[in-house]
């Protein structure tokens, strides 16, 4: 099953409203939103859990403050949580207010996030 395109459109709308410098990139079996050439947020379909997950890059401090919010979990693809990232289950971003909360955290962290090294062609 592909990622939830409706949620992708919702993220797109929020990023446009906030005038973020972003572009979309398909990855992780979903859609990732790159802000200032850095991974910021995205939507991913988790086959094991059979649900869509919001992926956000918010940093350790914001994660610690938000980890008890509904639907917030460490981002874990390989059995080892990824630093600075979190997964949010649909019950945690169902309302526009909740989705905007998570996207704003990701945008707030973006200036501090390290960009991935560019691959040589």
pLDDT at 2: 81
Alpha helix ranges (H) inside 26-111:
59-66, 90-93, 96-109
CB 24 within 8 A of CB 15: no
How many domains is the chain built from?
Answer: 1
Q: Is residue 114 part of a domain?
A: no
Is pLDDT above 80 for 78? no
Over residues 4-55, the pLDDT tens digits come to 999 999 999 999 999 999 999 998 779 999 999 999 999 999 888 889 999 9
| pTM check: above 0.85 | yes
| CATH number, domain with residue 14 | 3.90.1150.30
Q: Is residue 120 part of a domain?
A: no
Q: What domain range is 36 assigned to?
A: 5-109
Provide the token pair at 43: 């939507």
E-only strand ranges, 1-121: 22-27, 30-35, 38-46, 51-57, 72-74, 85-88
CB 76 within 8 A of CB 83: no
């Amino acid at each position: 099953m592909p990622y939830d395109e409706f949620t992708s459109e919702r993220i797109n709308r929020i990023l446009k409203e906030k005038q973020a410098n972003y572009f979309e990139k398909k990855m992780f079996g979903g859609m990732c939103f790159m802000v200032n050439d850095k991974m910021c947020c995205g939507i991913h379909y988790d086959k094991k859990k059979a649900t869509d997950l919001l992926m956000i890059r918010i940093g350790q401090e914001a994660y610690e403050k938000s980890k008890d919010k509904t639907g917030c979990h460490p981002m874990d693809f390989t059995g080892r949580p990824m630093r600075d990232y979190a997964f949010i289950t649909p019950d945690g971003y169902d309302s526009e207010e909740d989705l905007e909360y998570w996207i704003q955290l990701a945008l707030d962290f973006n200036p501090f996030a390290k960009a991935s090294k560019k691959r040589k062609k």
